[in-house]
Structure formats: structure tokens, C-alpha cells
């Protein structure tokens, strides 16, 4: 077996199948859902670490609808019922929890630059996060460059990010931050993008520019 054959075999082993469209993809490109066999309820496992039998679906409304129609029932070998809008909202909630956990961990590890001045001094941020209600921060040149490069997301509100990262009093508002660790930046960005099609909020910049 050649090196290329070995690489293809290894990739095939890690790939998962979307329960909606049937196409193969790497686990980080799909949303994992788990089923409680006793209640028949679905739960979103955004981190991909929950126990139990799981199925995967692309973060796309069409795939979610197809999966709920028949794909998930086939994957779990039992009848699965659900509402696409409800499951889409659950994907957003699970994504937000994961992003908040990743940001909290990055803050403790000193892997964040917080505030416009600090972010502007970072030469190569892994990802820039701008609060959805931070219109002024969205106009900064560093943010405009990051948006053009597909290296920025709009997440939560200034007060929510401030409560998460702003210290004991939780009163500090945070409009912008940069993630310095490549792995954390990839995890936050990937989690956000999987949930983006199910979000219904206006961003600090045009939604068509969010990558």
C-alpha cells in the first residue's frame, strides 16, 4: 500500500455521513446529534464528545429537514420525530455554549486580546470576534480586513461577552476581541459557522460579508 493509499484509507475512516444529504464529510464539518432511546428526544452534541449513539448532519436547513424526514430514523434504527426549527434553535444554543466555554478557557490561558487597542496590536490573530451590537468596532480597519479574509465572526452582545470575560462584577462591556491560539480560533470559528444558517439576528456588519 502506498503512502497516498494509506492517507485515503485513514481519511475514509474518520469521515461521517450526513443523515440529510448522504454525503461524506469530516466530523468537524458536521453537527452531531444524539438520541435518548427511552424518550425519543434529540440532543445536539456540538463538541462531539457526548456518550451514546450519534448521527451527523450538515449545518444546513435543507439537510436538517431531510434528516428529520427519514435520515435520522435510519441512522438510529427507530422512529425519530422532530421539528426543524426547534432543532435548528437547539444547534444555535449548543454552539453558543461551546463558544462561551472556549472563550472562557482562552481567557484563563491568556490566549485573548480584549478591546480595540489590544486587538489592533495583534499581527496575525487566529480569529476576531465582534459583538453583534458593536457597530463602531465593526468599522475598525482591523475588523474590515478580517471580514474580507473570512477571519471574523459576529457573536453575542457587548454586555454578554463582558459578563463572560469582564471580571467579577460582570459590568464591563466587550465589543471586540482577538483569539491568539490557532486551535481555539479554529474551534470557535468552526462552531459558529455550523450554526450560522440557523441564526436570525442582524450582525454588526452586513450578513453577506460574514465568512
164: Cβ contacts below 8 Å, ≥ 6 apart: 100, 103, 104, 174
pTM equals: 0.86
Extract the runs of DSSP E, i.e. beta strands, from 3-45.
Answer: 16-17, 24-25, 31-35, 42-45
Q: What is the C-alpha to C-alpha distance for residues 190 and 167, in angstroms, rounded to an integer?
A: 27
pLDDT at 36: 86
pLDDT at 38: 79
pLDDT at 10: 44
Query: How do the pLDDT tens digits run along the chain, 211 residues long?
Result: 554 544 444 456 689 999 999 999 999 999 999 998 878 889 999 988 877 789 999 999 999 999 999 999 999 999 999 999 999 999 999 999 999 999 999 999 999 999 999 999 999 999 999 999 999 998 999 999 999 999 999 999 999 999 999 765 555 899 999 999 999 999 999 999 999 999 986 555 554 333 3
CATH number for the domain whose boundaries are 3-82: 3.30.1230.10
Query: pLDDT tens digit string along 74-92?
Result: 999 999 999 999 999 999 9
Q: Which helix (H) or strand (E) holds 194?
A: helix 182-195
96-209: same fold as 3-82? no
Q: Where do the domains of the chain lie? A: 3-82, 96-209
Give the fold, CATH level 3, of 96-209. Answer: 60s Ribosomal Protein L30; Chain: A; (3.30.1330)
pLDDT at 201: 66
Count of alpha carbons within 13 angstroms of residue 105, beta-carbon side = 12
Amino acid at each position: 500500500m502506498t503512502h497516498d493509499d494509506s492517507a485515503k484509507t485513514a481519511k475514509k475512516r474518520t469521515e461521517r455521513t450526513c443523515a440529510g444529504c448522504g454525503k461524506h464529510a469530516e466530523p468537524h464539518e458536521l453537527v452531531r446529534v444524539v438520541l435518548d432511546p427511552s424518550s425519543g428526544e434529540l440532543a445536539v452534541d456540538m463538541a462531539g464528545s457526548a456518550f451514546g449513539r450519534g448521527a451527523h448532519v450538515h449545518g444546513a436547513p435543507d439537510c436538517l429537514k431531510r434528516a428529520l424526514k427519514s435520515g435520522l430514523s435510519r441512522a438510529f434504527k427507530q422512529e425519530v420525530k422532530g421539528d426543524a426549527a426547534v432543532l435548528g434553535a437547539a444547534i444555535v444554543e449548543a454552539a453558543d455554549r461551546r463558544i462561551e466555554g472556549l472563550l472562557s478557557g482562552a481567557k484563563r490561558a491568556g490566549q485573548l486580546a480584549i478591546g480595540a487597542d489590544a486587538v489592533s496590536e495583534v499581527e496575525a490573530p487566529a480569529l476576531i470576534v465582534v459583538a453583534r451590537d458593536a457597530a463602531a468596532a465593526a468599522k475598525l480597519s482591523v475588523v474590515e480586513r478580517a471580514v474580507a479574509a473570512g477571519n471574523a465572526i459576529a457573536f453575542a452582545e457587548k454586555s454578554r461577552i463582558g459578563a463572560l470575560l469582564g471580571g467579577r462584577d460582570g459590568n464591563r462591556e466587550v465589543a471586540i476581541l482577538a483569539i491568539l491560539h490557532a486551535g481555539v480560533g479554529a474551534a470557535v470559528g468552526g462552531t459558529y459557522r455550523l450554526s450560522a444558517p440557523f441564526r436570525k439576528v442582524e450582525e454588526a456588519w452586513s450578513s453577506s460579508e460574514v465568512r
